Amino acid sequence: MSKILLVEDNAKIIQINKTMLEAQGYDVYTAMTLAAARESLSNISPDLIVLDIMLPDGDGVEFLTEMRSGGNNIPVLFLTAKSTVEDVVLGLEAGGEDYIIKPYDYDIFLSRIKVILRRSVAVQTKIIRHGDLTFDTALRRVYHNGKDLVVKQKQYELLLLFIQREGEALGADYLYETVWGAPIGNNSRALISSISRLRTDLEGTGYALISERNKGWQFIKRG
């Protein structure tokens, strides 16, 4: 049974989501502040955190950054009223798996959760080697000749996808739908930003992403 931690300061939303998720068979924990969330994480290891951004004692994006810098790679789904493109990009770049804006459709909310949990389970315990790159799917880290490249979550998933489809040019729609689990819509900036960051992460490794006009990006080894 998957464990889900809901971090939300709206009592009505937290109760509706808790009831709905429990009806789907999930084990649900709740926290209405970041302090309560930290306490919960000291006692349980959830499979997913559904995280609001505007909380009484702090900012959810900063909380996620704190988690990631401490080596905590629990998947996070943002559920928030912050709705600008900049808000979405900031949340995803901080390491969020997905981003849902309030008000939201409950069926889509459940679907996004299932996608994240399914993807998380699929990569829990495998070591994948590709040339001199090594992927530790439990820790969600990538190493080049033993050196940790320190890639963020979305860059990790993009790179794993690129090596699995090496030799192919992958388009924006496909990349976004596969990694973010939703149609790209107006979120192309999030993808472009992640691609740019991944290119920087790959500098000095001998690997690169090249653009192919009207096709997308291709992962190559130089030399």
d(CA 221, CA 205) in angstroms, rounded, equals 9
pLDDT at 124: 56
pLDDT at 125: 54
Angle, CA of 65, 68 and 74, to the nearest 5°: 115
Question: How deeply is 6 buried, as exposed, middle or buried, from its count of CB atoms within 10 A (0-12, 13-18, 19+)?
Answer: buried
Q: Report residue 182's pLDDT band, with 50, 70 and 90 as the boundaries.
A: confident
Say how many C-beta atoms besides its own lie within 10 A of residue 83's C-beta: 11
Domains (ranges, CATH) in the chain? 3-122 (3.40.50.2300), 127-221 (1.10.10.10)
pLDDT at 223: 63
* 167: CB partners within 8 A, 6+ apart: 218
The DSSP H or E segment spanning 122 is helix 106-122
Higher pLDDT, 50 or 153: 50
pLDDT over 90 for what percent of the chain? 68
**Tell me: the pLDDT tens digits for 131-160?**
899 988 777 789 999 999 999 888 999 999
Question: Are 55 and 34 within 8 A, CB to CB?
Answer: yes
Question: Are 64 and 76 within 8 A, CB to CB?
Answer: yes
pLDDT at 21: 96
Amino acid of residue 130? H
pTM of the model: 0.62
Q: Are strands 58-59 and 48-51 parallel, antiparallel or unpaired?
A: unpaired
Residue 33 to residues 4, 30, 68, 100, 108: CA-CA distances in angstroms?
16, 9, 19, 19, 25
